[in-house]
Chains A and B, each alone.
Chain A
Amino acid sequence: MHIHRFEKLWIGLSLFLIAAFISIVMYGFTVLDLTVPGSDRGGGTVDAMNLAETPFATPGVRKTEDGEYEVYMLARQYFFQPGSGQSLTLPAETRVTFKVTSPDVIHGFQVAGTNINSMVIPGQISRFTTVFSDPGEYGILCNEYCGAAHHTMEGLIEVVPPSEFDESNLIEQ
């Protein structure tokens, strides 16, 4: 086989590039804690046709035993519950864990202007944790086509300073 020396050099550079990209991704994944949802993130599965017997029957913000907040949310044709109609209020600078599922079709959950982005699949629970460092309003949108009124599926998160977060609206365990 006849490979020109320039081409050998280029193949070397290409392999370096690939190794560099893989390293950067792994660095972000391990050191910077930038991760993605997945089945080993503790979400698990749920019977989408029988959500009445699960915490998803009363979607909203809860406080866990170790003092963190978690949000049970339904993404459904064509709203987020909670989040649409009335905004979802969350504290800044605090760990918040989302558990999102869908009772009907596949949806997307994206918080505009952030890296919070997950598929929402009936039968699967998307579980992921984040921290909002800055108070303010954040738009939620469905980024997976879910039917004729898909473009109206939106909501709002209101992030308030931790001292102003009102715990009286939490869902009882």
Chain B
Amino acid sequence: MTFVDTYPKATRIVKATFIVAFVALGLGGLFGFIQALHRTDTFRGIIDSTQYYDLLTGHGVLLALVFTTFFIAGLYQWGISRSLDREPEDLRFSWGWFWTMTVGTILASIAILGGLVPGDGISAAVLFTFYPPLQAHPLFYIGAALLVVGSWGATLDWFFSFWKWREDHPDDHIPLQVHMVLFTMLMWVLASLGIAIEVVALLIPWSLGLITNIDPLLPRTLFWYTGHAIVYFWLLPAYFVWYTILPKLSGGRLFSDSLARIVFVIFLLMSTPIGFHHQYLDPGIGMGYKLWAVVATLLILLPSLMTAFTVVASMEHGARQRGGSGYFAWMGALPWGQPAFAGCALAGIMFAAGGFSGMINASLNIDTLVHNTIWIPGHFHLTVGTAVALTFMAITFWLLPQLTGRKLKFPKMALAQPYSWFIGMVLMSNGMHRAGLAGIPRRTAEPGYSGFSFEAPFGSIMEMKIQIALGGTILFVSLLLFLIVVVGTWWAGAPAETVDDAIPPALSGPEHTPKILDNIKLWLGIAVVLVILAYTLPLADMLADGIFQPGVPPSPM
């Protein structure tokens, strides 16, 4: 008896979200592969440099918005159902949010892919950040809005389950996985208000021609209100895996239940009020807000550094029981031959490196060195592109047998997948970070300029380009391995006799956890106050001269 037998209805929802997630992953990954070859001038037979931006928009939207949101929806539905021991309360509602998200995805994809078809009048080459006055087809904004609204529906659905469970368990601690789901989603709902207001109140009417001129700084600020917190919406589900499943995969137990909860509480409080660090180099934003963003952004290192300790200690607990010893040698006793473990652990190692470049990005004036250079995608391919994406892929290997009742097909390919992703990302990210220090910008179709050339602080520009192209190719091969294993297991996996889906309790369990960490209303209230404190004054500054002033007309893309 595993998840699919106990919760067949929830399983269908999880499977549906995973199908959309993996289609987006395959397509977005293919676009990334083409881009890596094109912008390094390695191979240019597929697109021209104008179409590069259609593909780049598709890459960003399909991977950072669609793959993440759908996978998270499936993962969290799984966590809610197994932890609360409940099927969804009302299936019509559950399928309602799924189809809202899916229709949104289809509409946005039509707008983006329309740019590759000449003469159809539909395009959306505005990239993942869609800064006005660059203007996409209305379908792009409507689709994005539906995706966000659907994710709110999922949040409500999981709260329904929690409230029903609470009726029968008035005095229990919230189960750890449920605590993580609820705090992640509250953070996301609070954080996504910015992009929702931007898209629904400004960009949809504007793209339909109801408004002509727009003040570019206002939607940009609303975007980054959401745009940094969204990275924690991606990251916290990876933490969910690292805290609640990875210890078991290591052969041990979670080190501390209370610290895990504290970390999620801090993320609810601190994720949203720090968006201004994406606007360090903006005119029109006061220095006071920027200095506040420095302090607040660096403070949010704390929950991640705490996570590093707790997760590594949980792995060490497993390794020591597997016979590991010493200060460093214990790591050799971990189950590196298991794809799910290897993927999560390698993702964690990459996150340590991505954390470093994130610390640099947070540091105000040093942003003049790296801002909008290819250092930035070098950074977030380590964080969302590996810490999150590789964890999601790895845990898929562990979840699939529970969802299908089948054994993992092609186990050797599954094992090669995380290692090849790791190698590919080491090369690509290393090339990107160092090319960024040489001044090479992100988001450009061409490797250089006609009037001047870049000088590498160390190494050579050519060697960096080769690393990016080679790394991108290895990553794409790794992605294909993943998809082959998933499709193979789903359709042709041998029936599993038993599925090991048990999760052992924490070493220091919820009995040691203060009740206040479960107080949802209290923490949500403080989070709202912090957002109001951080954003009221700057937004009032921007709106003082009128919502649409100083304005400019649209520039259709």
Contact = CB atoms under 8 A, between A and B. Distances in A.
Interface of A: 1-4, 6-7, 10-11, 14-15, 17-18, 21-22, 24-25, 28-29, 34-41, 43, 45-49, 77, 103-106, 108, 110, 112-113, 115-127, 137-139, 141-152, 154-156
Given A40-B286, A105-B216, 5 more contacts: A37-B281, A38-B287, A49-B553, A117-B281, A141-B441
Interface stretch (B138-146, B415-423, B442-450): B442-450
B536 interface: no
Interface stretch (B225-233, B305-313, B484-492): B305-313
Contact of B133 (A35, A104, A138, A142): A104
Contacts of A25: 294, 363-366
B541 interface: yes
Given A1-B514, A7-B310, A118-B281, A144 B451 contact: no
Which one of A21, A116, A126, A143 has the greatest number of beta carbons of chain B within 10 Å?
A143
B371 interface: yes
Given A2-B512, A39-B541, A17 B553 contact: no
Interface stretch (B151-159, B165-173, B253-261): B253-261
A137 B452 contact: yes
B220 interface: yes
A103 B216 CA distance: 11
A106 B131 contact: yes
B216 A106 contact: yes
20 contacts: A2-B512, A6-B309, A14-B301, A25-B364, A34-B368, A36-B364, A36-B365, A36-B367, A38-B283, A108-B372, A108-B441, A113-B454, A121-B284, A122-B550, A141-B441, A145-B443, A147-B557, A148-B50, A148-B53, A151-B444
A138 B439 CA distance: 12
A1 B368 contact: no
Contacts of B127: 145
Contacts of A49: 213, 551-553
Q: Which are the 5 A-B pairs with shortest beta-carbon distances?
A: A123-B550, A139-B452, A143-B372, A143-B441, A124-B284
B295 interface: yes
B46 interface: no
A112 B439 contact: yes
Nearest to B262: A1
A105 to B, nearest CB: 5
B373 A143 contact: yes
B363 A15 contact: no
A17 B310 CA distance: 18
Contacts of B279: 119
B551 A156 contact: no
A126 B550 contact: no
A47 B467 CA distance: 45
B283 A126 contact: yes
Contacts of A120: 283
A137 to B, nearest CB: 6
Contacts of B215: 123
A117 B369 contact: yes
A151 B258 contact: no
B298 interface: yes
A1 B506 CA distance: 13
B133 A105 contact: yes
Contacts of B449: 139, 141, 154
Contact of A37 (B283, B294, B301, B455): B283
Contacts of A15: 302
Contacts of A38: 282-287, 290
A101 B258 CA distance: 51
Contacts of A118: 281, 283, 368
Nearest to B553: A49
A62 B168 CA distance: 76
B306 A11 contact: yes
Interface string B24-67: 00000000000000000000000001100100000000000000
A21 B363 contact: yes
A144 B287 contact: no
Given A144-B372, A150-B443, A154-B451, A77 B555 contact: yes
Nearest to B445: A151
Contacts of A113: 438-439, 454-455
B497 interface: no
A43 B438 CA distance: 28
B451 to A, nearest CB: 5
Given A110-B441, A112-B452, A150-B443, A39 B283 contact: yes
A111 to B, nearest CB: 8
Which one of A17, A18, A41 has the greatest number of beta carbons of chain B within 10 Å?
A18
Interface string B522-557: 000000000000000000010001000111110101
